[in-house]
Structure 1
Amino acid sequence: MGIHIEISAKDGSGTFNGYLAIPAVGKGPGLILLQEIFGVNSTMRQIADYYAEEGYVVLVPDLFWRQEANVELGYDHESWQKAFGFFQGFDQDKGIEDIDAALSVLRQREEFTSGAGVLGFCLGARMAYLAACRCDVDAAIGYYGMGIENHLDEADNIRGRLVLHFAGDDEFCPIAARNDIHAALEARDNVELYTYPGVEHAFARLGSEHYHKPSALVAHERSVAVLRKTIGPHYNLSYLWDKHCEYEFDTRNVDDTMATMVAEPYVNHIPTLTGGVGYKDLYRFYKHHFVDSNPADTTLIPISRTIGDTQIVDEMLFCFTHDREIDWLLPGIAPTGKHVEIPFVAVVKFRGDKLYHEHIYWDQASVLVQIGVLDPTGLPVAGRETAAKLLDETLPSNELMPTWPSSADKD
């Protein structure tokens, strides 16, 4: 996705490279992405492309250029040794000057709209903190930074918003350092500090032996939420999701449905493990097993919608007559002609203005009871009653609990 550009040092000592990734729409707020100690390698370029999908014009400056231009290391033992050598020889004050130069170049790009943030990992996290203190940035975000505790005397200079993500078991930022950082920063209204228990340094780097997907996902959501609030871009996620559902259930057009999604999306219907990962499999799923497999009377009745900065959580009733085999919902079960009403929850994640994934939840036991293939006698399951009570909360509760009557006279 990206290209390489030249950045002129502010002290006149030369030029250095930066990797530039631009969103598909061709413009957006600016984001300076700051490297780990391994240079501007494939990992950093992939992260830049990822944030470009989120809607940002991303520039990754080569911070080691004063020692050696275009450092690009892997994660084997020899690369680690070289990386620590560059880290030990790094002049962070000059590094901040180079970040400031990159910010200037970014703001002059025609793709840049307004607002600029910095985001860094490892060494880059410390530099993001220092950029928040010394540069004109609207937001600064750091993942598992090292040495921030040595620069807390600069915190009064922070003008934008600062977010720091810490690994609970990070040997490079131990608990004593985190305690100092919390003591100095946590009371500030423009600072957010998060610690992820039980994870280690590099928990957000895909492919790392310490990669922890749940923590990485939560941290990313928090990071993008701060960027959205401070520099944008702002999307009407509700409208985008409604159009996606329109193409799925009303016009039943697979190509239009896929056009609302990122290049490599995925869908996971949790109870039946149906859906698809990646464009090819998801297109196949939609075309042959979903869009035209839904009964003609399929109806979605909205109950509630929660809209975040990066995702929507939709609560609804899914209603249909089982007049055909429904591969994704009732795979392998012949039509029964029964009418079904079930509560649905959809967790819909976006990247920029495109859907990235859908996690869809429902009570499969309730479906099986309603079509008559599961006898609920003696089992803690219900049929259409689950949908009815969602619409009318005054309907009886606790009728599946044999012990409920025994507590009537208890305090």
Structure 2
Amino acid sequence: MKNLDIKFQVIFTLCSLFFVLNFQSQDLQSYIEQATENNPTIQKFELQYNIASEKVNEVNTIPNTEFGAGYFVSEPETRTGAQRFKISIKQMLPWFGTITSRENYISSMADAKYEDIVIAKRKIITSVSKSYYNLYENKAKQKVLEQNIKLLKTYEKLALTSVEVGKASAVDVLRLQMRQNEMAELLAVLNQQFLAEQTTFNKLLNRDKAISVNVINKLNIPSENFEINVENLAVHPELLKYDKIYQSVEKSELLNQKENNPMIGFGFDYVNVAERPNMSFTDNGKDILMPMVSISIPIFNNSYKSKTKQNQLQQQEILAQKQERKNRLETILDQAINNRISSRISYRTQTKNLKQAKNAEEILIKSYETGTIDFNDVLDIQELQLKFEMNQIKSIKNYYLQTTIINYLIQ
């Protein structure tokens, strides 16, 4: 039943996570599903939960039955005969409801472990998404660099033509070539960074690091943000875990009170008696069977009182930890919301600047037709275009990274 709940929660989280994306993002969703199935961190927490659940069967037991046997080396004589050996059986039973309290306590501990699975799945979804968007940013920047290198080669041809007719200097050509070399270097560096990030991504999916990752070609910032229900933060699994740990301490105290009660024991002693020779009377050689009842009373119960005090202090600690974590999550959520707004503002600004840079480029090209062109201006405009395009890509990536963080916190 728990596993089924986990599956439903993952599907719900995935649907919420990709609400802001278009159909092109199906590749990322399939990667996330693969990661939640194969990631060893999730498998580790699932195994820990299964172990904690199995412990319920471990505590559903009563104390061991005690068997004893003794042989009389020197046989004591009684009226009915000599006692030869003795057998005893004894079974202690905990106070009524103690075993049930143990089961409830262990079950509450298992419930807290269950939240670790939900948290781990959310974190894996977040990690996979972040890595994916890093790969997208890298690929997008590589494409921009390739386009700019082609553009510079076109400018280089114009410069060579201008040199031939005496309208430009050979220095202009060299500057354009040096700029191409810088971009080629940056492109090579980005390619190596992509391979490193690809390894990170593949290991999150628990697969070979060399497997190629398909990244979508284009991401756009939606015109409107999806609704953010901040109240959902109150039921975040990281906070629910503290509630369940608190409940487990309550169950621990109930168990402590039960174990502070007496234990009752039942059993019997059997004594084998030999017949007295050359005598005939009633009960000659009759064995002895003696039923027994015992009680174990915790007279010195300071340990139980200390346990009660510890449980009270632990509950206070859990409440403080929960409040501390809640404050931290609220801070992270507020930062993510504001950072996402900032990313949208930055994207709009870079788009506007890029459009103006392209207009300036067109003016320079038209000036070439009239016989004049300043290749220093060409390099300046090209550098600005590259800067704006890179910042635009960065803004898109940051927008989706902040969206991923928001979804981790409120979905």
TM-score (norm 1): 0.18
Q: Which one has the bigger strand percentage?
A: 1
Compare relative contact order (CA 8 Å, sep 6+) and give the higher one, 1 or 2. 2
Q: Which one has the bigger helix percentage?
A: 2
TM-score (norm 2): 0.18
